[in-house]
A and B are shown apart, each in its own frame.
Chain A
Amino acid sequence: MRVGDTLGNAHAQVLALAPGVVATALSLDPAAGYVLSRIDGRTTWGTLRQIGALPPHEVDQLVESWLKDGVLVASGASAIKTTRDARGSDSAAQQPPKKPPAAHAKPATPAPPPPSAAKPKALSLPEVDASLDLDLDLQREILAFAAGLGRRYHELLGVAADADARTVKKAYFALSKRLHPDRYFRRNTGPFGALIETCFKRLLEAYELLSDPTTRKEVQEAEAAAPPPPLTTIDAEGAASARARGLDARRRLRERVSAMSSRARAEGERRRKAKTFFEHGMTAFAGSRWLEAAGAVRLAIAFDPENSAYREEFPNVQRKAHEERAKQLVKQAEGALEMRDYALALDTFEEALHYRPGDADLAFRTARLAVQASGELKRAKEFAAQAVEVAPDNAEYRKMLASVYAAAGLEANAKREFSAALRIDPSDKEAKAGLRSLS
């Protein structure tokens, strides 16, 4: 195999995320996301195979597809070319195996705007002013915070990168006491008023993103991929000499100009790539290859996250892909049922339900399986409640939910659902019996 031959050398290569790629838009499963998060411009492909998140051959598959799609760049070019040749064009947009996180009850929406896309706005910072109704230390504190608004979110909150939710919240509350505009209600805060509000909004953003495990992971990946812009330092004392400032300014300007031109080049490249993916996706869509189409459009968005045409198309493509995926999964689950592998069947049904949340009957069957196969009442309740929510006028679903509640000892809820079932069908014997057994 040519692939195997070339890969031997390829493993010595150092991998890095291609400039401008927004990793969060890729929508990976946690294992693939972990692999991607290890890629930092220093780690070699060989090391990556040994980190243990996935078997080595699966790591290879991921890296190959990322290299081919241009998500990654390797420090040497030869292997990339070979691997690209080695793979059929048909799999051009194949996605890494994707298993949705079970916690997501609603169908995945397009990825939220990546945090790294938040452009650090040029803030003009006011001078410390003794005539304001804010003491000077507080003014300096606010200025320092404002100057660091471009920092990473956890730095903004002053917590460790791996701080737990409780610590994040504590830090947010403590900073809110200093930075919430209500603290300075009707005080003469001059130009600090608007600044305080800006700071609080950014603080809120940091807290919101870091307190939800999903967005937090995205933030971490994005931050690992793109180092934060250098801090603007505040010259609160005004001590630096004018000469030093002049030199500094010229140096910064040079850096900025060169950064801007290379960024513009990379930007054009990125957009072209995105366009290719998108067109490929539309071709696949026209040819009813839904999963492939979804993968390609997703990549297009990853390369050009600001193009709303791609984002707008994505839900359609994704819906089709979800339908397809759900169909496959239901089939698999029914296979597992026949093999009497109930645990697998339940998991697979649940996954299918994730892609087809509006299918009440599927939810009902999943609920029944959860009760019968594993007695997992909490899961069963979720599924049964989903069925009832989708089809509130179905007495069967209500009774199922009621009996799950009853089994869990939630009598009031059980009664409510049995009564609801009775309202739908006043002659329903099971519901009557259920109610009697509760009272």
Chain B
Amino acid sequence: MSRVIGIDLGTTNSCVAVVENGQVTVVPNSGGYKTTPSMFAITQDGKRLVGHLAKRQAITNAKGTVTAAKRLIGRRFDSDEVQKSISLYPYEIVRGPNDDARVVVGGKTFTTPELSATVLREMRRVAEEYLGEPVKEAVITVPAYFNDAQRQCTKDAGKIAGLEVLRIVNEPTAAAIAYGMSRPGKDEKIAIYDLGGGTFDISILELSDGVIEVLATAGDTFLGGEDFDRRIVEHMLAWFQEKEGIDLRGDAMAMQRLKDAAEKAKCDLSSRETAEVNLPFIASDDNGPRHLSFQMTRELLERLVHDIVNGTLKTVEQCMLDANIQAKEIDQVILVGGQTRTPLVQQAVADFFGKRPHKGVNPDEVVAVGAALQGESLVSEDQNLLLLDVTPLSLGIATFGGHFAKLIERNTTVPARKGHIFTTTRDNQTAVKIRVLQGESDTAVENDLLGEFVLNGIRQARKGEPEVEVTFDIDANGIVSVSARGLATGKEQSITVNATGTLSDDEIQRIIRDQELFEVALKE
């Protein structure tokens, strides 16, 4: 039987881990790095590049390089997130036939699962080279706040990359698994503060004798290290414009250079007080070439981003409320994600919880490690780990007047079953439409529609009299089935909610066939 790998599919970087004889190894790529940039590019002459190769040419090929595709996955073209991305990234984002977001590079249009698949395929290749055997199965992590569509698209991406995705696990939960395995027999409540490149998640979990229970989880799918970079870039842009009178905003190449420099300066400032930014020949005008030379200090960085950091603490507070837990009850705080290397972040978290964060885990690798462990625990015979995972978002149905009746609240352990009785709103109404929604708003239309069906043959009666029992069943894989039953007639209708990813099965099969044509190009 082949091995299950764990993949942390990040916004900016990805990481893969495998379990061998009970030991977890984070697998380095051919360049020796344990993380691989989540980037995909098509060069001028049509070559496809992934990872470090893509990053290396990103400056000169800004329009042909796709970064942060995770921000687009499973989202509608009209969503705020996609619109924001359009203003942020130099590559072209267009509307797809299902109103999804697609990306045009090298004259070809890609769906978002295809883009993520290029990175997953690269991670699979890295693992296969290390193990010397084919890899067919994986556990992939996503931010806790990903909705069903985003999770489904991530699964589709796995399928396109030739992987069967055994489970989609939340990133902070994976981190807790990795932490929990190193502390057998302990009973602890832990907080996972995960500030990555593109997303922020906070989770409160309880570990007890090999069982991991998620108490609550909250987050922001659009907040992360890239926001730090952007603040630095904005600051340098304004500074340069004032000094030289040149606005670099419209210049894709200059912007990419500034972004790379900002990221590097930010990382340097985690261990030093100052960092130099030198970008020669960034622009030119009638008076000749201009260079950008800027001294960045830690103090300036902290001034630029302190409100972002404080914003995360608000989410933390919300999560603590959800878990009904006080800061002092938390035994360990674990930092995940590269952005938690920033001293300001560490300080803010320490202040909030009143204790220093745990030092024992590598913030870049811990999520992949946890994913690999979860995969191993599912398929192996002797299991010493059990994850009691929860639903990330509430599930329910639309009711009269545009309201949303939640049947399964977010943070409910799965598998679970919950039912409720509903009734008709008009006299002699013989059919009801059950619209299954996911989200947190009390207003139906502000939530995501997962599916709908009609229950017919309700006994004719005055409004409010017939009783229809709606039951939600959610299994351990997170698959939701909804049934409605007329209590008088016994008539029943049900659906299994197929998360509406943005691709149909046919499309996925077509993409898999197409990609096989490029197999050679990918393996260069």
Contacts and interface: CB of A to CB of B under 8 A. Distances in A.
Interface string B440-468: 00000000000000000000000011010
A412 B475 CA distance: 42
Nearest to B350: A412
A112 B98 CA distance: 40
Contacts of A186: 378-379
B476 A197 contact: yes
Contacts of B494: none
A155 interface: no
Given A200-B415, A306-B467, A185 B378 contact: yes
A312 interface: yes
Contacts of A262: none
A309 B379 contact: no
Interface of A is mostly: helix
Given A113-B420, A170-B208, A197 B475 contact: yes
Contacts of A173: 208-209, 211, 213
A412 B352 contact: yes
A182 B386 contact: yes
A176 B415 contact: no
A186 B164 CA distance: 13
A183 B313 CA distance: 36
A1 B386 CA distance: 67
B160 to A, nearest CB: 23
Contact of B383 (A183, A204, A309): A183
Contact of B464 (A182, A197, A312): A312
B356 interface: no
Contact of B386 (A180, A197, A416): A180
A169 B388 CA distance: 13
Contact of A197 (B209, B210, B413, B415): B415
Report the interface size class on chain A. Answer: 20 to 34
B252 interface: no
Interface in A386-415: 411-412
Given A169-B208, A173-B209, A182-B476, A309 B386 contact: no
A176 B310 CA distance: 38
Contacts of A309: 423, 464-465
A169 B207 CA distance: 11
A101 B482 CA distance: 35
B234 to A, nearest CB: 19
Contacts of B351: 411-412
Contacts of A169: 208
A176 B387 CA distance: 10
B358 interface: no
Nearest to B475: A197
Interface centre among A113, A308, A411 (most CB of B within 10 A): A308
Contacts of B313: 412, 416
A79 B481 CA distance: 53
Interface of B is mostly: mixed
B304 to A, nearest CB: 15
B413 A308 contact: no
Contacts of B465: 309
B95 to A, nearest CB: 35
Contacts of A113: 419-420
Contact of B348 (A176, A185, A200, A412): A412
Interface centre among A170, A176, A181, A185 (most CB of B within 10 A): A185
B421 interface: yes
Contacts of B386: 176-177, 180, 182-183
A81 interface: no
A177 B210 contact: yes
A201 interface: yes
B84 interface: no
Nearest to A170: B208
B183 to A, nearest CB: 16
Interface string A164-179: 0000011001001100
A180 B476 contact: yes
Contacts of A177: 210-211, 386
B511 interface: no
Contacts of A308: 421-423, 464, 467
A333 to B, nearest CB: 26
Nearest to A103: B324
A173 B210 CA distance: 9
Interface string B239-269: 0000000000000000000000000000000
B416 interface: yes
B426 interface: no
Contacts of A416: 310, 313
A208 B352 CA distance: 29
A182 B208 contact: no
Given A170-B208, A173-B209, A200-B415, A180 B475 contact: no
A204 B467 CA distance: 26
B467 to A, nearest CB: 6
Interface in A365-399: none
A186 B137 CA distance: 13
B417 interface: yes
A277 to B, nearest CB: 16
A416 B413 CA distance: 34
Contacts of B383: 183
Contacts of A181: 415, 475-476
A189 B413 CA distance: 22
Interface string A198-215: 001100100010000000
B416 A180 contact: no
A434 to B, nearest CB: 16
Contact of A182 (B378, B416, B421, B423): B378
A182 B378 CA distance: 6
A169 B413 CA distance: 14
Given A306-B467, A308-B423, 18 more contacts: A113-B420, A173-B208, A176-B211, A177-B210, A177-B386, A181-B475, A181-B476, A186-B378, A200-B415, A204-B413, A204-B415, A204-B416, A208-B413, A306-B487, A307-B467, A308-B421, A308-B464, A416-B310
- For the complex of A and B, list the 4 residue pairs with the smallest distance between their C-beta atoms, beginning with the closest: A309-B464, A308-B423, A181-B476, A173-B211
9 contacts: A176-B211, A177-B210, A180-B388, A182-B386, A182-B387, A201-B415, A308-B421, A309-B464, A412-B313
